[in-house]
Chain A
Amino acid sequence: MIANFGYFALIITFITALYGVGVAAYGATQHKPAYVESARRAMLLTWPLITLAALALITLLINGHYEIRYVASVTSSTMPTYLKVTALWGGQEGSLVFWAWLMSAFASAASLRKWQRDREMLPWIVVVTMITLAFFLSLVIFFENPFARLWLTTDGQQVGAMLQPAGARALFPADGQGLNPLLRHPGMVIHPPMLYLGFVSFVIPYAFAMAALITKRSDDRWIRITRRWTLVAWLFLSLGLILGGRWAYDVLGWGGYWGWDPVEIAAFMPWLTGTAFLHSVMVQEKKGMLKHWNMILIILTYALVIFGTFLTRSGVLSSVHAFAQSAIGPLFFLFIGVTSITSLLLLGRRWSILKSENQLGSMFSREALFLLNNLLFMGILAVCFWGVIFPLISELVTGAKVTVGPPFYERATSPLWLGLLLLMGVAPLSAYASSTIKTIGRAVWKPALVSLIVPIALVVGGYTNIGAILGYWLAAFVAVVTLYEFWRGSIARSRRHAESLPLAFWRLAGRNRRRYGGYVIHLGVVLMAIGIIGIEVFQTETQATLARGEQLTLGRYVMTYDALSQFDTPDGRNVARAVVSIYRDGKLVDELYPRKDFYYASQQPMTIPGVRSTLEDDFYVLLVGWEPIAQQGATFKVYHNPLVNFVWFGGFVFILGTLVAAWPDQDPETARIRKRRQTSLARA
């Protein structure tokens, strides 16, 4: 009953979305505002409708309706309720419903803005967002139905279908298989929604861009309207990537947080184009340049968002994330192809009206440096995209499957990241249009000199890795430039307005949140760079089999194997848990409990590390295996990860900066009214 209700709600949402597309397009082309308004209301209606479908599915998940195929595949009676709710996005079908639900929520939110100034764009926003929504709904209605019941056919096969296949009888399993053990982690509970929010929010700026092209608007209005949408999308995508990294570090047991897995890269690619877009739109807003390029970037971002969802959901590429494998791949490819080609054709038709309003005065102006920044981001994108699809091409052409692993990405992208760090230091010191090599040189030499302290200290300290020394120098350079910018602005404001320095700093950042939020993001990147270089270059590891009481040494740390116990848990796991003591410089500093869980239902092992975390480093212990007889001997793999916590700390600062930049400004109209009131009060 609940399943039928949920499925029916999906179908009605799908029909409503299609109605919105048709009526909006008709209203726009025939200049009939009533039709456009009807389409807008249809768009608004999709959200409560699909919410009903999502609630129906959640009800089935919580109440253990294992006769529903999806419920049986992602939940079990031993799972806590919160995990049963999050199982909504734990499998293929549910996550597609979740994607569509978010899409509908964002589209509805966009439709609620004040449209007086941009009325002509509205129908096309409805068309683009509702086409995207209808596509995802069609996948769940026709191919990946989360409400399908389990049936046992006459030839003994289990199938999922809404209606009873001929001769089949309904199945009522006593319990489900449970959620993939890898997904039972707080990071994984939040990580997919964050990524999806990031993906879905990027659809809104894309929709506005298409609306601007269709309505032949050559101004930057679409960028100004969607600036906050873009920042919010970028914020969620960044948060999703950081949380995903933390999850990998805590759960996957390889001692790192980023494995250049195809699905990681799939989420990373729209982030790359989104970051390039966030920089290049500033040039369009300030100088009326790069209009074509911004359109290309947002089209590319949209295509990569769909591509990312496709890779995550289709399981077409071998990956640790390929939890769900299905036959929806060709449909995704078709949708990406049709939307990309249509968007590019539209851009081609409007090419002439998007001419630059200004010319470039200097090769060292800020706009030129932003262009260079975009080039480097596109270079990293090229490496990522090519690395992800090459195994497929190889298999198609030669029949041989190849692996494109971390060494390829690390070697190819490292110089580009260093180039981006350099630009992050130089660009804030440049000016629009007027900067020359001389003015840049004058502004740069002092921070460059101050930051030289870092590489000198490293060399004196005995470090010889050129890449690390260069990386830390550039990170220090960016930090000095950014802090100097804060200092310079605060001092100037403090003098002009006779304010205390902290107040001047607070108001300075408050008046130009975008700029100073951006600087905070840069500081976050610096911190993350410190952590990334630390773990990439200076990570050490060792593995040894120890008898109880024996020790292993790694750097300044000594680890003693104390004990091991093995037991079953009520949630269907067998747990082998070791106890190890950690000594640093001869002093006991911690006791860790690395363990190995084995999930009986899914026959899946999971390695959970024991980690001693400080700002300086992590001592990361994995239990690899153990001797059965009285658990006397056990094998441990141990990593020393210097500075890794800077990655998480930097991530926090990064998100904070994005929040500052995205924080809503006061509405100009309200500000004017308030100012007028204040003036009249002062006069009175």
Chain B
Amino acid sequence: MHATCLPQVVFILLLMLPAGVLVTAAQDGGPSDDEVNAVAHQLYCPVCENVPLDVCPTQACEQWRATIREKLASGWDEAQIKGYFVEQYGARVLATPPATGLNWLVYVLPPLALVFGAFLVFRAVRTWQVEAVQQARVETSTEVDPYIARMEEELRRREE
């Protein structure tokens, strides 16, 4: 075999494996692809970058999907399978961090930041409103004060 043909052959052989596995599994009446993907969708490829397991095209992910299929066929439920993957590869396989320890901060900080922002906006608005009322009061009192009005009238006359 010519050396340059090797990658083609390897590629074709690698692609044979999953499809063969899937066809066999489907024929055996095991878990359906959709059942496998429903679990895989909630897991992230531990090796690839930010790709959910159900759509990751690599051979490694294909094998992990096969693992999910095996576990489902053995009667494992979704939580057990997720737990298995976490045990094997760490919490990074989950789509969101488990709400434990430091991870709480992921869920707590954004709402706190929003509440704090809302407080700042509310305070700014109140301050502006109070200033507006005070200014209006000063303007109103200036308008009705007969002494100020008389003085302004005199000043006006002098200028004339």
Could you list which residues of chain A lie within 8 angstroms of chain B, going by C-beta atoms?
253-255, 259, 261-262, 289, 318-320, 322, 356, 359-363, 368, 371-372, 375, 378-379, 382-383, 386-387, 390-391, 393-394, 397-398, 400-408, 412, 416, 541-545, 566, 568, 574, 576, 596, 598, 600, 603, 605-607, 624-628, 633-635, 637
Contacts and interface: CB of A to CB of B under 8 A. Distances in A.
A576 B15 contact: yes
Contacts of B90: 400-401
B97 interface: yes
A400 B91 CA distance: 8
B92 A403 contact: yes
B51 to A, nearest CB: 6
B8, B20, B110, B124 interface centre (most CB from chain A within 10 Å): B110
Interface stretch (B73-81, B112-120, B140-148, B149-157): B112-120
30 contacts: A253-B55, A254-B51, A261-B50, A262-B50, A320-B51, A359-B135, A371-B125, A375-B114, A375-B118, A391-B92, A394-B97, A394-B102, A398-B101, A400-B92, A401-B92, A403-B91, A404-B97, A541-B34, A543-B37, A544-B26, A544-B33, A545-B26, A576-B15, A600-B8, A603-B7, A605-B57, A625-B19, A627-B16, A634-B19, A635-B23
Contact of A361 (B57, B117, B132): B132
A379 B95 contact: no
B95 A403 contact: yes
Closest CB pairs A-B (n = 4): A359-B132, A360-B128, A543-B33, A625-B19
Given A545-B23, A600-B8, A634-B19, A363 B52 contact: no
Contacts of A319: 49-50
A406 B95 contact: yes
Contacts of A541: 34, 37
Given A253-B55, A545-B26, A625 B15 contact: yes
Interface in B74-106: 90-97, 101-103, 105-106
Contact of A403 (B58, B93, B132, B135): B93
Contact of A628 (B12, B34, B125): B12
A253, A394, A574 interface centre (most CB from chain B within 10 Å): A394
B97 A627 contact: no
Contacts of A626: 15, 19
A404 B96 contact: yes
Contacts of A412: 110-111
Contacts of B121: 371-372, 375
Given A359-B128, A382-B113, A407-B95, A402 B103 contact: yes
B54 to A, nearest CB: 8
Contacts of B7: 600, 603
Contact of B96 (A400, A408, A600): A408
A574 B4 CA distance: 13
Contacts of B105: 390, 393
B157 to A, nearest CB: 33
B51 A356 contact: no
Q: Is the interface of A mostly helix, strand, loop or mixed?
A: mixed
A545 B106 contact: no
B78 to A, nearest CB: 15
A368 B125 contact: yes
A568 B57 contact: no
Given A545-B33, A600-B7, A605-B57, A405 B50 contact: yes
A121 B125 CA distance: 32
A404 B106 contact: yes
Interface residues of B, number: 53
A253 B56 CA distance: 9
A102 to B, nearest CB: 27
Interface centre among A261, A397, A598 (most CB of B within 10 A): A598
Interface string B1-30: 000000110011001101110110010000
Given A397-B102, A407-B96, A408-B106, 11 more contacts: A254-B51, A259-B50, A371-B124, A403-B93, A408-B95, A574-B8, A598-B11, A624-B19, A625-B62, A626-B19, A635-B23
Given A600-B8, A626-B15, A635 B22 contact: yes
Contacts of B93: 403
Contacts of B50: 259, 261-262, 318-320, 403, 405
Nearest to B7: A600
Nearest to B129: A360
B8 A568 contact: yes
Contacts of A398: 101-102
B95 A405 contact: yes
Nearest to B12: A628
A397 B22 CA distance: 41
A177 to B, nearest CB: 14
Given A375-B118, A390-B105, A544-B26, A356 B128 contact: yes
B132 A543 contact: no
A318 to B, nearest CB: 4
B138 interface: no
A542 B34 contact: yes
Given A400-B91, A403-B94, A404-B96, A635 B33 contact: yes
Contacts of A393: 102, 105
Contacts of B23: 545, 627, 633, 635
A626 B111 CA distance: 47
A405 B26 CA distance: 30
B84 to A, nearest CB: 17
Contacts of B129: 359-363
A545 B55 contact: no
Contacts of B52: 254, 405
Contacts of A383: 110
A169 B151 CA distance: 96
A416 B50 CA distance: 24
B55 A255 contact: yes
Given A356-B128, A375-B118, A402-B92, A390 B16 contact: no
A253 B128 CA distance: 52
Contact of A405 (B12, B44, B103, B124): B44
A545 B20 CA distance: 10
Contacts of A576: 15
Given A253-B55, A318-B49, A379 B33 contact: no
A537 to B, nearest CB: 16
Contacts of A362: 129
A614 B32 CA distance: 29
B44 A386 contact: no
B11 to A, nearest CB: 5
